Amino acid sequence: MAMNKNTVLAWATVLMIIMGIVLILMGAYRYDEVAGWGFATVGIGFFAIAWVFNALKGRV
């Protein structure tokens, strides 16, 4: 399977969204102290980076 730049960005977007969801859920359910806020914040950051990757599709 040939992977061009758009395919790579699409896979990166999907993986970043999955990791963002996992981090937010870990922050919500696994850690009750301040570390949970850190995990959730990093998960939101993953969503922001995935949004950038999605916006770059077709432009790079």
* Alpha-carbon distances of 25 from 2, 16, 45, rounded to whole Å: 34, 14, 14
Instruction: Dump pLDDT digits (tens) for 7-59.
Output: 888 898 999 999 999 999 999 888 888 888 998 999 999 999 999 988 888 77
pTM of the model: 0.81
Measuring CA to CA, which residue among 29, 27, 33 is closest to residue 46? 27
Domains in the chain: boundaries: 5-56
Q: Give the integer Cα–Cα distance in Å for 20 and 26.
A: 10
- Amino acid (one-letter) located at 55: A
Q: 23 φ, ψ to 5°?
A: -65, -40
